[in-house]
A = this chain, B = another copy of it.
C-alpha cells in the first residue's frame, strides 16, 4: 500500500477517538443536540479533522450506529435464554444512561432518539437505526423460535414473534425509564419482565409441552 503504517494507525486511532466522542455526547444530547464542535473538542481533535475522517454529521452517526451494532453483536451473538436476554437488555438500559461503561447498550439509547426523529425521512442515520432495529428483531425472533422445538411450527412461529414484540417493548420501555431518570431497580424489573413473558409461554403451550 502507499500509506505508511504509522500514518494509518494514527488515522484509525483518531477515527476511533471521534466515534467515542460522538457516542459520549449523543447519549446525553441526542442527534440534534450534539454539535460537531462538541464532538471535536471531546475528541481532542480540531473540527477540520472530524470532517476529514467523516463526510458530514449524518454519516458520522451512521458509522457510529454501525460501530455500536458490531460491538453488540460480538457480545450477544447467541442470545441464550429469553430471561438472560431481558436481564442483559434491561439492566444495561440503566447503565447506558448513566455512563459509557456499556458502549453496546449506549447504542440503543441513541437509537431511540432516532425513532422519534421523524422529521426528515431521508435522514440516513435514522434509516440505519430502523434497519438495524429490524435486523435485530429478526435475529431475536429466530433464536426464540428455535427454543420451542416440541410444538407445531405455526404455533412456535407465532409465539416467538409475540415474545420478540413484547420483549422489545419492555426493553425499550425501560430504556425510556432510564432516560427519564425514574428511580427504579432495573435488575428487579428485568426478572419481573421475564416472569411475565414466561407465563405467556406457559399459558399458550398448555397441551403441547408434554404431548
Cross-interface CB contact of A116 among B169, B179, B189, B192, cutoff 8 Å? B179
Report yes or no: B166 in contact with A169, Cβ–Cβ below 8 A. Answer: no
Q: Which B residue's beta carbon lies closest to that of A111?
A: B180
* A33, A162, A197 interface centre (most CB from chain B within 10 Å): A33
Report yes or no: A166 in contact with B180, Cβ–Cβ below 8 A. Answer: no
Q: Which B residue's beta carbon lies closest to that of A169?
A: B173
Bound form: Cα–Cα A181–B197 in Å:
23
* A115, A171, A177 interface centre (most CB from chain B within 10 Å): A115
Report yes or no: B195 in contact with A119, Cβ–Cβ below 8 A. Answer: no
- Chain B CB within 8 A of A176 CB: yes
Given A32-B30, A33-B32, A119-B30, does the pair A112, B176 have CB atoms closer than 8 Å?
yes
Given A165-B184, A192-B166, does the pair A119, B33 have CB atoms closer than 8 Å?
yes
Report yes or no: B176 in contact with A28, Cβ–Cβ below 8 A. Answer: no
Cross-interface CB contact of A118 among B169, B179, B195, cutoff 8 Å? B179
- Chain B CB within 8 A of A200 CB: yes
- Chain B CB within 8 A of A79 CB: no
Q: Which B residue's beta carbon lies closest to that of A167?
A: B173
